[in-house]
Amino acid sequence: MKASKVKYPDQADQGRLNVELAERNMGALMQVRKRFAKERPFHGLTIGMALHVTKETAVLVRTLRDGGARVVITGCNPLSTQDDVAAALAQEEGVEVFAHRGESKDEYYAFLRDVVMSKPDITIDDGCDLVTEIHQNSPELLESIIGGCEETTTGVLRLRAMVKAGMLKYPVVAVNDNKTKHLMDNYYGTGQSTLDGLLRAANLLFAGKTLVVIGYGSCGKGVALRGRGMGANVIVAEVDAFCALQARMDGFRVMPLSEAVKEGDIYVTVTGNVHVIDWQHILAMKDGAVLANSGHFDNEINMKALEEHSDSKRRVRPCLDEYTVHGKNIFVAGEGRLVNLAAAEGHPSEVMSLSFCGQALACEYLVKNRGKLAAGVVTLPEQVDDEISQLQLKAMGLKIDCLTDEQRKYLTSWEHGT
């Protein structure tokens, strides 16, 4: 008996159309699905997932299910679930879904418990909440879990903190560390989808505006690049000396946020850290400034301070709130949650195909190496990353050159110099 909890079951037809559209653009993952359907690597296993419930995630869910798994999924952010997709998934054979957009914190954790109750053999996380929930509240499951997969930088940071504290009790693949993930999804995906979120939330013109990007990791680099592409003057604020140098060499202005606040029209946080836009920054901002966060958690902008100390607040439109602060208006997109998923549809399917090939192949790797991997953070072998690139090239109809025997030999020799 299927026990899904979704909010709008009648939206399933629209959800299926969206999933089909995503499948058209996820050719690499579709090749993996075809192989999985033949080989059934997950026969008899339950895969528990806490991932944004989007049309792209649905393509991953179908891929794992066709590989033989029972898939039980909840969201990993209260504002990112696409309800039509959740409805469509709930009707799929072998899939259970617990998610709706706008769920409360209590509902979020109740749904996470629903996934835990399915006794997963493999976990897939985006942000490490499922791993944390199991370790803290269902340690009896730890023994039988084959392993887990983690999608995002923030989740990998949490996992490494667990390792340091001696707390992580099963192997978890850091899918984020694949080249085909963090150098593609974080860069091209976050770059495009963050601007998409800001455009849908506030219908802004970027040309001629000053865009302050806080954090210049792969995500920040993508946001800065696309912001410049839309005609914005980009300022980067960083705490890491090397990343700050990279931003400068890439042609952006670099300065502390305390100075950038005098100029910025639009702010995007992409740091994975807490309160990077704090109350004193907000007080110094220009009237009309628009704030958005594209990091995993909603604590990069100090929303609590804004809620408590602003003089008034009104919802201007679904994903845009206006706060009055000492006579100025400050706008926040997507309630300070991931703006690309709260106000738009997340990364486009093409880029998620690469990330989710990483998830699918990581699950297969865990099963193939069952009992052989130590508890801790696992990096996939380079060949898997390479296989993903090859699949994507094939899906795009692109061919590349091969090394000759002479070149292969040269690369592994040392005798010949100048």
Interface ranges with ligand ADE (CB under 6 A): 52, 54, 56-57, 341, 346-347, 352
Q: What angle do CA 93, 96, 12 make, to 5 degrees?
A: 70
CB of 82 to ligand ADE, least distance (A): 9
CB of 120 to ligand ADE, least distance (A): 19
Complex with ligand ADE: residue 174 or 352, whichever CB lies closer: 352
Complex with ligand ADE: residue 182 or 281, whichever CB lies closer: 182
CB of 331 to ligand ADE, least distance (A): 23
CB of 115 to ligand ADE, least distance (A): 16
Q: Are 63 and 89 in contact (CB under 8 A)?
A: no
Complex with ligand ADE: residue 175 or 291, whichever CB lies closer: 175
Sign of the dihedral through C-alpha 69, 123, 171, 178: positive
CB of 56 to ligand ADE, least distance (A): 4
For 82, counting Cβ atoms within 10 Å of its Cβ (0-12 exposed, 13-18 middle, 19+ buried), the class is buried
Complex with ligand ADE: residue 23 or 56, whichever CB lies closer: 56
The residue sitting closest to ligand ADE, measured at its beta carbon, is 346
CB of 254 to ligand ADE, least distance (A): 27
CB of 86 to ligand ADE, least distance (A): 13
Complex with ligand ADE: residue 41 or 127, whichever CB lies closer: 127
Q: Which residues pair with 234 in a beta bridge?
A: 211
Complex with ligand ADE: residue 64 or 235, whichever CB lies closer: 64
CB of 414 to ligand ADE, least distance (A): 44
Complex with ligand ADE: residue 6 or 260, whichever CB lies closer: 6
SS3 string, the chain, reads CCCCECCCHHHHHHHHHHHHHHHHCCHHHHHHHHHHHHHCCCCCCEEEEECCCCHHHHHHHHHHHHCCCEEEEECCCCCCCCHHHHHHHHCCCCEEEECCCCCCHHHHHHHHHHHHHCCCCEEEECCCHHHHHHHHHCHHHHHHCCEEEECCHHHHHHHHHHHHCCCCCCEEEEHHHCHHHHCCHHHHHHHHHHHHHHHHHHCCCCCCCEEEEECCCHHHHHHHHHHHHCCCEEEEECCCHHHHHHHHHCCCEECCHHHHCCCCCEEEECCCCCCCECHHHHHHCCCCCEEEECCCCCCCECHHHHHHHCCEEEEEECCEEEEEECCEEEEEEHHHCEHHHHCCCCCCHHHHHHHHHHHHHHHHHHHHCCCCCCCEEECCCHHHHHHHHHHHHHHCCCCCCCCCHHHHHHHCCCCCCC
Complex with ligand ADE: residue 52 or 281, whichever CB lies closer: 52
Complex with ligand ADE: residue 68 or 127, whichever CB lies closer: 127
Complex with ligand ADE: residue 246 or 269, whichever CB lies closer: 269
CB of 57 to ligand ADE, least distance (A): 5
CB of 127 to ligand ADE, least distance (A): 10
